[in-house]
Amino acid sequence: MPTTGLRYDPQGVYLPEHGLAENTLTEMCDRLGAARAEVLADAELWASGGDVPAEKIPLDAGFIELPNRLLDEYRSSGDASELGQIIATAQRLREHVDRVVCLGIGGSYMGARALFEACAHPHHNELARARRDSWPRIYFSGNNVDNDAMAGTLDLLRDCSATSVDGRWAIVVISKSGGTLETASAFRIFLAQLRESCGSDDAQVAELVVPITGDSGRLSDLATALGCPQRFPIPDGVGGRFSIFTAVGLLPAALMGLDVVALLEGAAAMNARFRQAAVGDNPVLDYVGICQSLEAQRDMAIRVLSVWSNGLEAAGLWYDQLLAESLGKQEVGPTPLTVVNTRDLHSRGQQHQEGRRDRVITNVIVDSYGRDPIAIGESSLDQDKLNELADKTLPDVMQAAIQGTNQAYHEDNRPTADIHLPRSDERALGEFFQMMMLATVVEGRLIGINPYGQPGVEAYKKHMNTFLREK
Ligand code: PA5
């Protein structure tokens, strides 16, 4: 069996007092196995280009084998492969600019943001260029229509001049459809400013804009009109919220200086484990089985992802979108909620401990930190009475908080489960993202909801456009 760093420890929810018998997963084995087989058959059907039965449309199963395909192509064709081109584009921009604005919303934004927060330096943009190893500062915009937020980013860029690398900036604009209003309007506004800062040098502007979009559509047409020498596709059959391992996530990640090969290797390792491991040792199937059992048997329809690291907040929000858009259909589907602890123990903790018994808490725990542990330390000013803990480090405090919180929940028969990431790095995040995408589609098949597509998102757009054009 391939090794994988990510561990899933469902121990807590097995406790009989939590309401799930020890044989819960064993009893679900057949159903979970059937859902896995269906998901894998979907992937094969999609890859074969065969006819998709009406009840399976849309079938965006292309994300499953994507990490393996990109790695295989990279190993056989190197720089000529898509991944090779992504890495080369990131290197080119690294040499030419000091800032990159990533425009996109929803699935065309959240994965890159999650990677930035989980794997880059927490103050990446504030570091001097040398301390960033010359990787550009990264800004996200177009993920809302917030006037003042965008004006603030434009302020920063207005002070830049295109005459030196320190002053130059670029745009990565991401939209699968190419027609999303938030992204399109942001692109128009940032493009106008880029043209100004390049003195209307059209060739330079074209070099500094990298579109990531479908083969056709308004953004594709715009990219052609601009003459952008480099652009990347979002493959058919990969939906927005499943696109983190396309250029949508990979180009921004490469621009942050992240190891995109390790990221894809993590995802590929999770694929292998998902295919081969039995229930009880299969993070994807176990996670689905436990969450579904608690929802079906105990009406626990709220999925709390409790991340024990600031850097994982955006990964949690990425998962919120994945679960909500995939399974929130036909008046069913669990409600996702991300909390960051210990921060949110001081806000939501009360409700999780004593509120409605409608939630299962899955902890995401980082086992080892990237930096040396910081000790509390001795002080001549001991009015805070911390000298007795002087030799304890912040990881020691965090560990005690995790154990203490779990124990408090268990003493009140509130179920929790743990996902352990060995580190908050590219490999572990690759495993985590693929685990959650696979779990979401497995759960969809298990409960008879098509996890692909998001028909409900269209309603607000229709009304918004009507109001906008009526004015
Ligand atoms: O998951 C999805 O499909 C959505 O969240 C989209 O990513 C989002 O609406 C942005 O769409 P587009 O990439 O077409 O601009």
Band of the pLDDT at 4, cuts 50, 70, 90? low
Give the pLDDT confidence score for residue 439 in this predicted structure.
Answer: 98
Helix axes 426-447 and 283-298, enclosed angle (nearest 10) = 50
Burial group, residue 354, by CB count within 10 angstroms (0-12, 13-18, 19+): exposed
Ligand 1: does its nearest atom lie under 6 Å from the Cβ of 18? no
Q: 2 pLDDT exceeds 50? A: no
Ligand 1: does its nearest atom lie under 6 Å from the Cβ of 338? no
Give the pLDDT confidence score for residue 464 in this predicted structure.
Answer: 86
Ligand 1: does its nearest atom lie under 6 Å from the Cβ of 325? yes
Give the pLDDT confidence score for residue 24 in this predicted structure.
Answer: 85
To the query of whether residue 354 is one of the catalytic residues in this protein, the response is no
Cα 43 → chain centroid: 21
Ligand 1: does its nearest atom lie under 6 Å from the Cβ of 168? no
pLDDT (tens digit, 9 = 90+) per residue, 202-257? Answer: 999 999 999 999 999 999 999 999 999 999 999 989 999 999 999 999 999 999 99
**Gap between the Cα atoms of 171 and 222, Å rounded:** 14
**Gap between the Cα atoms of 17 and 172, Å rounded:** 51
Residue 78 φ/ψ region, left for φ over 0, alpha for ψ in the -120 to 50 degree band, beta for the rest? left
The closest alpha carbon to 94, from 245, 265, 253, belongs to 253
- How many Å lie between the centroid of ligand 1 and the Cα of residue 183? 10
Q: 3 pLDDT exceeds 50? A: no
**Tokens (6 digits) for 84:** 């090779």
- How many Å lie between the centroid of ligand 1 and the Cα of residue 321? 11
Which residue in 123, 346, 385, 462 is the catalytic one? 346
pLDDT (tens digit, 9 = 90+) per residue, 84-132? Answer: 999 999 999 999 999 999 999 999 999 999 999 999 999 999 999 999 9
Which residue in 295, 325, 431, 443 is the catalytic one? 325
- How many Å lie between the centroid of ligand 1 and the Cα of residue 105? 6
Residues whose CB is less than 8 angstroms from the CB of residue 423 and which lie 6 or more positions away in sequence, other chains included:
5, 366, 367, 368, 369, 370
To the query of whether residue 55 is one of the catalytic residues in this protein, the response is no
When pLDDT is averaged across residues 159-186 and rounded to a whole number, the result is 91
**Gap between the Cα atoms of 362 and 304, Å rounded:** 6
Kindly report the pTM of this predicted structure. 0.96
**Gap between the Cα atoms of 230 and 85, Å rounded:** 9
